[in-house]
Amino acid sequence: MLRIAAELALRQLLHRGGKLAGALIGVCVAIVLIFTQLGFQNALYDSAVGIPRALDADILIAGPTFKSWADSPPWMNRALLYEAQGVAGVRSVAPLYSAAIQIASPLDGHGLSCYLLAFSPQQPVFLSAGITALSGHLALPDRLIMDRQSRVDFEAIRDAVQARGESEITVLNATDTLQRIGWVTGLFDLGPSFTIDGTMITSDLNYYRLTSTPLDRVSVGVLRVANGYDIKRVRDQLAETLQGRAQVFLKQDFIDNEIAYYAENTPIGYIFRLGLIVGTFVGIVFISQALHGIVSDNLREYATLRAIGYQQGFFSAVVGFIALVLSVAAYVPSSFLAWGVYALAADASKLPLRMNLPDMAVIFALVVVMAVTATLLAVGKIRKADPVDLFS
């Protein structure tokens, strides 16, 4: 009976002709919307954890009121790092400084938002070999390096560095009577976030010169654990030693905290989750409309089959096969369309939009859910159909 139901469903779909194409386009719109929402949500999370992922750390220490890097990490006393260095199993401790600053655009002088990160050139904290190789630049006064993937407003600086080896920048600070001048002399690759358009790195001494922030005010402590020690046990010992004066994270826990902050405490995280729900609902509506048209056009035929003994389960299988074929047939072109949207959006925004197999599997599961839900809504009309009424 399932084979017969599948053959009947396929014949009814092929018989639709142009109407079938219209239904497929509608379902494709919904699936592309779901792909887009999930892609931007993942890009939000990936860009939010770009900096912590790039750190050469086993454990990270942050201030007691720390919530997220997006809030500009509140400072903690550098003396806490000296205490951490004395815990058994800690191989190295390095301070990392972070601030959200504005620099003047070299084109028209308007403010450009960027992260300014700083560390001691003698204590590199990044995994990137490119950043470590440029550490020598940072030892010179007022020297910085810039993320090559910073957004379009930073292109003039990037182009100048590539052409001449350096670009002058002005740090904007309303409280300063004198302008703070720096020189960008190298480029690295990291990527911007949703909230900040670019990233620059300098030395701790240059950080002090450019921001006037005392170096005993550390944003994050970057710790490496010695070989042979259990990282979780070292973390617990650090937490016990610091006694609430700082938060102690494993690197992955720190990353998970950032993702949770964006997902649960920011409007944009809520919007993307709502977008997934709306996209799924739109898909159910389009599939339901297509099924409604097919069922209405073939209601007399269904009534005839019921009159000769076919049971409700058979009609549910027919409608289910129609919904599933519609959904899967729309899923394939939708994935290619979404790939094109990702490519265009990634090029324009510099965000890490990419399609991966886990996401494709999640969206395929949502497509199946849409098909099942639409089937449940459509079979009710057949269940209520009385052959006597249809032929009277």
pLDDT in tens, 269-318: 888 888 888 888 888 888 888 887 777 777 777 777 777 777 777 878 88
Q: Is residue 382 over pLDDT 70?
A: no
Same domain, 203 and 271: no
pTM: 0.81
The answer on 225 and 271 residing in a single domain is: no
What is the domain range of residue 166?
64-245
108 inside domain: yes
pLDDT digits (tens, 9 = 90+) for 210-245: 988 899 999 999 999 999 999 999 999 999 999 889
Q: Is residue 260 part of a domain?
A: no
* Tens-place pLDDT, residues 112-159: 889 999 999 999 999 988 898 888 889 899 999 999 988 888 999 999
Q: Quick check: 167 pLDDT over 60?
A: yes
204 and 326 assigned to the same domain: no
Tokens of 278: 């709306």
Mark whether 15 and 144 lie in a shared domain: no
**What's the rounded mean pLDDT across residues 188-203?**
88
Span 327-362, pLDDT tens digits: 888 899 999 999 998 888 888 777 888 888 888 999
Query: What pLDDT does 322 receive?
Result: 83
| Percent of the chain surpassing pLDDT 90 | 39
**pLDDT > 70 fraction of the chain, expressed in percent and rounded:** 94
Residues 70, 189 within the same domain: yes
Are 164 and 304 in the same domain?
no
Please report whether residue 57 resides in a domain: no
Please check whether residues 121 and 237 belong to one and the same domain: yes
Q: Is residue 328 part of a domain?
A: yes
Same domain as 210, residue 182: yes
Number of domains in the chain: 2
Q: What is the residue whose two structure tokens read 């999930």?
A: 38
**Is 58 a domain residue?**
no
